[in-house]
């Protein structure tokens, strides 16, 4: 198994890509620390993993709270060590031109999407450097490489995630620590459903979205989880500072 005897911390693991990643890591032998502000959803993720024979624990975590993030990671590292940090928690915002987005919305997205990933890297890196190994996987977006219209705050933050990842890879590489990002296209998650619900006709919007993808479908959370699993594992031992685009060919068009 690709993550046997490894400890993996995953943020935003109460649903969607985070939950699927937690399940895949557990299937590959990892001890998974499921974190989220959604206690009920996080505990459900743990229950599903344990029902399938895996090992998991839940820790409530607001990724914007640096002190809490460090406390959670320090506790995990002291008890188990920390082999993989997956910074998955993220949020979007209603569509609108940059000049029309209010400061509160902008700051909310920045706090979760940038500061949350920053806090995760900051908490994990000292432990990984001390032990001489570790893998950080940050979840970016297609918006990390493309400026999505009506998504100025989201696109800005996800671009920052990708370059932050490259910086961490350069800084931490000499200590045996790798850092990579996964950049998914639209994926069948609650965030996507929320985005579609804001459109005049959600079903028409979904159909038009699918037509933009060469594979003529949207991604599944499990497909993004598989990409994260690869980057987290020793199979990607010489991959660092990379943004792996998983978008069904969208960015080729």
Q: What is the DSSP letter of 149?
A: T
* Contact residues for 53 (Cβ-Cβ < 8 A; gap 6+): none
The dihedral sign for the CA sequence 159, 161, 164, 169: negative
Strands in 177-184's sheet, in edge-to-edge order, are: 55-60, 31-36, 7-10, 84-87, 134-139, 177-184, 243-246
Residues 6+ apart with CB under 8 A from 104: none
DSSP state of 114: I
Of 98, 117, 110, 237, nearest to 181 by C-alpha is: 117
- The full 3-state SS of 203-214, as one line of letters, equals HHHHHHHHHCCC
Enzyme catalytic residues: 154
Helix, strand, or coil here: 82?
Answer: coil
Give CA angle at 243 (179, 28), nearest 5°.
Answer: 60
| CB atoms near residue 150 (< 10 Å) | 15
């Amino acid at each position: 198994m690709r993550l046997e005897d490894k400890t993996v911390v995953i943020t935003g693991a109460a649903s969607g890509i985070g939950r699927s990643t937690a399940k895949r890591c557990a299937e590959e032998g990892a001890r998974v620390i499921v974190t989220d502000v959604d206690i009920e959803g996080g505990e459900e993720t743990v229950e599903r993993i344990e029902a399938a024979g895996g090992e998991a624990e839940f820790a409530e975590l607001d990724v914007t709270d640096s002190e809490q993030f460090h406390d959670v990671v320090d506790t995990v590292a002291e008890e188990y060590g920390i082999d993989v940090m997956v910074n998955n928690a993220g949020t979007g915002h209603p569509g609108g031109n940059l000049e029309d987005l209010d400061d509160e919305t902008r700051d909310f997205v920045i706090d979760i999407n940038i500061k949350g990933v920053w806090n995760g890297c900051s908490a994990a890196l000292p432990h990984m450097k001390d032990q001489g190994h570790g893998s950080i996987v940050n979840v970016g977006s297609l918006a990390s490489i493309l400026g999505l219209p009506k998504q100025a705050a989201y696109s800005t933050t996800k671009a920052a995630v990708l370059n932050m990842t490259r910086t961490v890879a350069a800084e931490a590489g000499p200590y045996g620590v790798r850092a990579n990002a996964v950049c998914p296209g639209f994926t069948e998650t609650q965030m996507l459903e929320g985005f579609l619900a804001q459109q005049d006709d959600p079903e028409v919007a979904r159909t038009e979205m699918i037509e933009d993808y060469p594979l003529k479908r949207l991604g599944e959370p499990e497909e993004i989880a598989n990409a994260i699993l690869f980057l987290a594992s020793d199979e990607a031992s010489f991959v660092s500072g990379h943004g792996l685009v998983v978008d069904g060919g969208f960015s080729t068009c």
